[in-house]
Structure formats: structure tokens, C-alpha cells
A and B are shown apart, each in its own frame.
Chain A
């Protein structure tokens, strides 16, 4: 029967619309990641790699304290920054998304949060140096206030400065999705609960927080993906003291150790896969968004 042909035509058309994008992603996203996996088993000579398969680079990674240490540092910083962005971001999201009655004010506040993103990421990172340094703004203010006698040196070029920098840069990615979910809550539900005599704490834990959970998960995925793949913030604010997996990749590539860079790349990929899959198990995003 020929009646099937027009719908086949439409499917063909859908196919043509998708083909360029899908091919682009397969060629320039999937293939490169496959390549990383493949190259992680290549043989590394001093300045070159060849495609003789070997486990050497993998053995090197796990026998090196520095490399394995970078894995733990990455995990530790990721957890700390994730927790901080959530703790610092949630109250702000609560105010912007739920407590502010006027839509205009809430939009203005959100725009205010987003504006810094139109400054170069690297310059935003760099801006923390005069802020946290020994003669930086924070030390000056604290000394002027008489809170400290001598400048706090641990503020810059330490793990702390990396944590502060990352938290500030990524907290907005937590605020946005949470505020969005909170904004969708039907205020009548809260009013109804209040009429029934429920206090704010109870309303928060029974209604508000569960309804905002998808936003928390989306925010957590954003923050995790960005923090786990970081290297610039740690490079700029730790004075090379904090080495994340990303930093290892950069230095290995810099010294043409492509195989080792690939091993670290594979580990990072696996780590990301586990983290994102874990978050998606908490909340099924397809149903929520």
C-alpha cells in the first residue's frame, strides 16, 4: 500500500534535520572520548606515543602517590564545594524563588546573580588574588576592624582559596535550578498547610524541600560536572599546591605524556559517569521537567 510513503517522507525529513547534529556529536564528542580510552592503553616513549597496547600507563597511575593523591583531592574538593554551594545557595534560592512575592524583584535578583558571568571566567578567578592575598582586601578589612593582628596567610595559595573561589563561581548554578523549582510551587498549598496550623519548619520539610529536590539535583549535577573537570581555579589560586585530576591532564599534555593524560581522562570520565548516574537515580528528571 502506498499510503505509508508520506509518513516515511516525514521520517526522512526528521532524519535530515537531525543528521548534521548527531554526526557532529558522534565525530567530535563520542569519537574523542573513545580515543581517550584507546590511547590510555598506548605505549609512551619519551616524547611520543605509539599504538602498541600496554597497561603501563595504568600501572604508573596507580603506583604513583601524586596521581592517586590527585584523585582523592579531586573527590574531597568536589564534596566540599558541592556541600558549600548547596548550603550557601539554598537560602538565597529560597528567598528569590519563594519568599519574594513580586515576580519583578525575583527576576532582578536572578539577573543580578547571572551578571558576573559576562566577565571572563579566568578574570573572575584571578580577581580572588587581590581579595585573598596577604595584603588583600579581606585581610585589610579584618585588620582595620581589629579582628586580627597579623594577616591570615592561609587565605591565598592554599586549598582554602581554591574552595572559596570555586564556591563563588559555581554557587549560582545551584541557586538557579532550585529557585526555578521553588517558583513553581503552588502558593495555595503552603497557605493551606499554614491554615491547618503547620509551622514554617514543618511546612519546609514536608512540602517545600521535597518539591525543590529536582532543582537541587540539577544544580548538583551542574556543580559536580564543572568542579570535577576543573583545573584553572586550582591552578590560579593554589600556587600549584592543589593538584586536581584536571591539573594532571594539563601538565601531562604539556610534557607530551598523552598516554598518562588519557588514563587520567578515563578515570575522570568514569567518576563523572558514576556521579551523574547517582544523582539521576535520586530524581527522575524526565518526569520532573
Chain B
């Protein structure tokens, strides 16, 4: 059988493929332990050290290499990602909820929303800046113009996640609640929302990470205060140092922390409802 030989060959191929995906990252991880401040962002490693990590937190004596301007940028990025996450998830849940009923123009509305993730960031960023400058006449800020473009980008993801969840959702439990005299609003709170909560968490995770890492839209639309990706982009044109690699490792660890929190919340949400019910029983 041909597939008998095909499978091991492809297994090796997939291993190489994953190495291809991770290769640069491994190199980056290694070089983040380069000696400092003289060691450059290339091989060979002169001497292993955690200099660049200390440099990142301002724990090294001043040198000619300026520390990355990450402190305030990080705070801004986190705030922006949080604002975006809340707005995009609320909009996504509402729109997906509306899509459970058939209505005229559903196709157009669907594509209008999905367009938000399809249009490249350069275009939405540019267009929003033009509108802000020439029509509305406001200054661009990360919490105004950049924020709205971030929501344009992440709302479709939240919408699609919720749509997939609600497609599999059995509406008869809601009808059952209504027939027990429970109002639609309370039914949503007590039945629908707890049941779709894992989906809501995924939508939030999507919106947060996409916004946190968003770059092209922010570049045009955020005005003078930099977000984290903009701070990193700023280092592109100048000479790069291993501190940016150390920073990359740190952000990855942060992402994993975020993922872990998500995983824990996910696990809890499954058990939470049961526990609450049991506690109410005891009381």
C-alpha cells in the first residue's frame, strides 16, 4: 500500500514543518541570552547572560543602548486590548444572537461584519485617519481612532465564534424557561448565557490577543502615544539589540499566562454552574 510509505514520509515532513515554524523563535530565544551590552543580535553567543532581561526592566547600569520604551506602551496596549475585548464581545454576542432568527438582508449584514476582518489594516487605518483629520476634525488617539479600528477588526472574530456556538445551541431550553414564566431577559441571564459562556470566553480571548498584537491599524490611527507593537516597530529602522529578543520571550510568556488563565476559566465555567446549584441546595 502506497499510504504505508506515505505516512512516515509525511510524519517526517510535518516534523520539519514544525521546525520551520519554530526555528526563528528558537534562535530568538537563544540570542536573548547574549552577553551585554557589547553582544549583538547575532551568533556566536559571546557568553550566556541574562543581561538583556535586566536591561528590559532597567536593572542594568546606563549604557549607550536606550531601554525599550515599553512601560507606558504596555499599559496602553493592555487598556486598549481590554476595551476592544469588551466592546467586540458585546457586539459579537448581540449580532450572533440576532442571527438566530432569519431576517431580510441577513446575507448583506453577514458580509458587512466579516468584511472587518478581511480588509487589510493599512486600509482601515488610512481611511479612519482621513475621516478623523478631514471630516470629523479630531486628533487621533489610541483610545479613540485606534480603538474603533481595533473593534472593526476583532468584532467579526467574536461574531463568528458566537455564531458557531449558537448554531449548535438548542433553543428549546430557552422556550422551556419561558413556559415556566421566566422573562426572556432573565432567561438569557440564567440559561442562555451560562450555556454559551465557554464561547464568550473564546471570543474574548480572540479579541484581546488580536487587539494586543494589532499593528497596521494602530500605526495610522493612534496618534503620538505609542502602543506596544508600535514601540517594537520603532526599533525596526534603528539598530536592533538582543533586548528586543528578550522582550519577545517575555511577551510570549505573558501570552501563555493569558492562555492558562483562559484554560482555567474554561474549566471553572463548566463546573461553576453545578457548584452554584449545589450550594443553593444546601442553603
Contacts and interface: CB of A to CB of B under 8 A. Distances in A.
Q: Do A and B truly interact?
A: yes
Interface of A: 10-11, 14, 17-18, 20-22, 24-36, 39, 49, 51, 88, 91-92, 94-96, 99, 109, 112-113, 116-124, 126-131, 133, 135-137, 140, 168, 171-172, 199-201, 221, 225-226, 228-232, 235-236, 246, 249-250, 253, 258, 261-262, 265, 268-269, 272, 276
Given A35-B131, A91-B10, A92-B13, A137 B123 contact: no
A213 B159 CA distance: 25
A70 to B, nearest CB: 13
Contact of B113 (A25, A49, A109): A25
B171 to A, nearest CB: 13
B159 A21 contact: yes
The contact size tier of chain B is: 35 or more
Interface string B199-232: 0000000000100010110011000000011001
Contact of A29 (B10, B41, B119, B252): B119
A120 B31 CA distance: 17
A73 to B, nearest CB: 15
Given A29-B116, A29-B119, A92-B13, A140 B28 contact: no
27 contacts: A14-B103, A17-B95, A21-B92, A21-B155, A22-B113, A24-B148, A25-B112, A27-B148, A30-B112, A32-B128, A91-B10, A96-B14, A109-B14, A109-B18, A116-B21, A116-B25, A119-B25, A123-B245, A126-B28, A136-B42, A221-B118, A225-B120, A235-B236, A246-B216, A253-B129, A265-B126, A272-B118
Interface of B: 1-3, 6-7, 10-11, 13-14, 17-18, 20-25, 27-28, 31, 41-44, 91-92, 94-95, 97-98, 101, 103, 109, 112-113, 115-116, 118-124, 126-131, 133-135, 148-149, 151-152, 155, 159, 209, 213, 215-216, 219-220, 228-229, 232-233, 236, 240, 244-245, 247-248, 251-252, 255-256, 258-259
Contact of A17 (B2, B98, B130, B220): B98
Contact of B98 (A14, A124, A136, A253): A14
B28 A127 contact: yes
B127 A21 contact: no
B232 A130 contact: no
Given A32-B128, A200-B3, A21 B94 contact: yes
Contacts of B112: 22, 25-26, 29-30
A230 B22 CA distance: 21
B259 A232 contact: no
B185 to A, nearest CB: 11
